[in-house]
Amino acid sequence: MKKIYFIALLTMVGLSAFGQEYRFGIFADPQFFWLKTDSKNLESNGTRTNFNVGMALEKYFAKRYAFLTGISMNGVGGQLNYNVATTIHTSDGDKVLTPGTGVLYKLQYLSIPLGLKFCTNEIGYLTYYAHVGVTNHVLIRAKADIDAQNVSGENVRDEINLYTASYQIGAGAEYSLGGSAALQLGVTYSNGVIDVLKSSDFNAISSGVSIRVGVMF
């Protein structure tokens, strides 16, 4: 994983050095995520607070329009309450859940966004922007807490799909530090489009709000 990050960093920095049409950035976004479900025997019951940390690359095809991509370690999840008896497969064996049991899923993905960014002209030191796009997520780690059974941090990779995806929409502002460097602050809403659970009996998608805190170069 460190090698992937290092290669991505070198690639993005190298591209940004070619000209003004490329910009490279780093970010550490606090975020609040939950799992949404329309399964009648499953209920969403709580959020998970974590961080999305990574690197961004912008490729400008016009003065105020850019393609977006990047790579990040993305911590999401949320609590689901099971309204029927079921079995959760963990690295420590199967856990039989009674009706009403809550499971807090702690999921970490390698995330790669693809999107478009739209910017205003600079007003004073500020440039305002909006963006839309989709993000591909590859599962790195899946753990769960089951308070009713005193289970904490149990590996539940067998319960979670390896791949999922989401769309996002966001807006924010950049404060110029001179040249192309800028502090970046914004907010993004994400909503899943692919089920995160492997089980055919239940479904859930990942949704949440992220606060963009970053620096662009």
Is CATH 2.40.160.20 correct for 2-216? yes
Query: Who contacts 172 (Cβ-Cβ below 8 Å, separation ≥6)?
Result: 128, 129, 184, 185, 186, 187, 212
Assign 84 to helix, strand or coil: coil
pLDDT computed for residue 42 by the predictor: 97
Q: pTM to 2 decimals? A: 0.89
pLDDT computed for residue 21 by the predictor: 87
- Give me the residue spans of the domains in the chain: 2-216
For 160-173, write each residue's pLDDT tens digit. Answer: 999 999 999 999 99
For 42-69, write each residue's pLDDT tens digit. Answer: 999 989 999 999 999 999 999 999 999 9
**Mean pLDDT in residue range 111-127:** 97
